[in-house]
Structure 1
């Protein structure tokens, strides 16, 4: 059995949250190793679906807004340009509580249907609908973002091991021992960022994996759906959906918001999507987007970590010494990841979180 070198901290799982934590730890001068069972940035987990909405205007309070501002600063400075600063939209009826909640004074701009049609001509809004623009928002390339975080972590001194599955975690002389099929790694501290794999720590707060299905539809005029004139966003009227610009020059991505079935193990997940998945709602979405087909050009699925409260976990595990449990951001991980990575580094180094947005057990969403 091969014995790996000893480190101050081991990060298990290099999705976006684990990758951001590894980078923050390395930048803080902590000797660390990141361990990923697949390849970094693989599309089967939270990096699936290619693009993510980034927002700075959320309804969960000023502490979360500050975290998002910090994340934007870090995303903007990451080499590889994973972030496109094109703003983010919330569309819906003027009196919709979800629309009002994100119309934050001094942070967003509210346009009526006529003004929105001039600025974003692809959107066909009803007379009583408005568009809330978050100018600090934008679009993230999911795979590029995750790979960029890990590449920067390497440059900052972190070790990275891909294709390595941690099958168990024990303790020896007060230190964590991570067991893999080919050996073990010993670490003073452990960060568990594996989604459903949080079960590696007995008694860990439950993080469920759920299947998310995405649909891509062809458009007649791709230039009308470029990020600058078609930023990502959400339409709150039924069928509620998020929309993403045509980064491939041919199709827009639509995420129909509906309950996601639970994935009990990675083997349960299949990337193919059942026939007729878009039949009941695609026509209604196409009626709101000028020139979008109602027949999907592409359908795919991936998995994301969820909690029952839909709020992310950033916790020191009281039942397991010097172990941080991280994940379950329910589709919000890419927004918060860089700032959360810094909070994880604080927890590892000091045992305290640097943000009141996080309680000792649960934290952000929105």
Structure 2
């Protein structure tokens, strides 16, 4: 992808602002639908500051407790992720482990999509985990692991190959209405568009009340392990432990460390410009012993701790919504850590809204109406 400057006054059918995982998916779907479109990214695609690059890896599941419509979207996303750049998606399954009767564990068990294992079978199958006698394991065999930055770059690259323009290092300063069209003001000039997709993530929303998305800091820790071979994706798929403490775990991708997300309340932030990657001393001390009682062979302290910014919508539902009046502005974001699961299918929803004003599903809606 070679960034190029906008002309002083450029005209396109649709401009996508923000090329994180959701914006990249929207740009790809628009390009494949034959829409003249340009994607604008203020930094570089796959940068580590926000949810689309931070944290290195993401869990992908095809089984959620939200019903058939969500399952259909997840199946579509898996199809598209599987067709993406080799290495972006590792089909190793996804796991939930916890005490029998735990509500979160029960919610992960979807008949026909998951298998449920007792403690003995789980301990034998995943020796990197310490399984308790009262545990049950729910395994989603069609789940897997996504390389966050690589997957995000794959979407933007596929969009470019399908005919979209992809520009990095272009900051959109504002969006205004002019004679029935939308004008994006950038540091390189103006872009006039019939429709705009706002997928700005932790950046400014550009229009008042365009999302209702709250930005929060997410802190992740990487631990060296005694036997790295035991923690490769095939024998240690990504997953969640639901019973005391609650945390998610990820296989080694560097051959040496396992990522742990201790699911603790995280403070809000105004965005990446207000976010400092510094993590307070002793952050991991209160929860490391509990994690060590569940994962074998972890070192006593993390090798590294990093943080990034992620968008959360009210009710932890993603927002995909359209302005009430033309010209069309679609806002998308706030998937609360679920964006990588749904992004390719959500991109197609966004493309439908841009092209027809209608969506093929009502699975995601506005938490806060878009202005306009």
TM-score range, shorter chain: over 0.9
Q: SS at the partner of 2:31?
A: helix
Alignment-derived partner of residue 160 in structure 1: 166
Query: Is residue 332 of structure 2 the alignment partner of residue 296 of structure 1?
Result: no
Is 1:262 paired with 2:256? no
Counterparts of residues 245-260 of structure 1 (less than 5 Å): 245-260=251-266
Shift of 1:314: 0.2
| Equivalent of 1:43 in 43, 48, 54 | 48
Taking the aligned partners of 2:85 and 2:229, their CA distance within structure 1 comes to: 26
**Aligned partner of residue 314 in structure 2, secondary structure:** coil
Displacement of 1:239 in angstroms is 1.3
What is the RMSD computed on CA atoms of the aligned residues?
1.5
Aligned counterpart, 1:66: 72
CA distance in 2, matches of 1:335, 1:41: 16
Q: How does 1:271-350 map to 2 (within 5 A)?
A: 271-318=277-324, 321-350=327-356
For 1:240, the equivalent position in structure 2 comes to 246
- The answer as to 2:103 corresponding to 1:97 is yes
Structure 2's unaligned 5+ residue stretches are 1-5
- Tell me, yes or no, if the aligned pair for 1:314 and 1:362 is still in contact at 8 Å: no
Q: Is the 8 A contact 2:61 2:144 kept in 1?
A: yes
**Equivalences, count:** 363
Q: Distance in 2 between matches of 1:360 and 1:221?
A: 46
The CA deviation at 1:238 is 1.8
Given the two structures, how large is their TM-score scaled by the length of structure 1? 0.96
Is 2:88–2:146's contact at 8 Å kept on the other side of the alignment? yes
- SS of the residue corresponding to residue 147 of structure 1 reads helix
1:220 counterpart (203, 220, 226): 226
SS of the residue 1:22 aligns to: helix
Aligned to 1:172: 178
SS at match of 1:247: coil
- Shift in Å at residue 323 of structure 1? 0.3
**Is the 1:80–1:148 Cα contact (8 Å) retained in structure 2?**
no
Does the 8 Å CA contact 1:203/1:319 hold for their aligned counterparts?
no
1:212-256 deviations in Å (ceiling 9; x for gaps): 000000100001000000000000012110000011100000001
Q: CA deviation at 1:206?
A: 1.1
TM-score (norm 2): 0.95
Work out the CA distance in 2 between the residues paired with 1:320 and 1:268: 33
Show structure 1 runs of 5+ residues with no match.
none
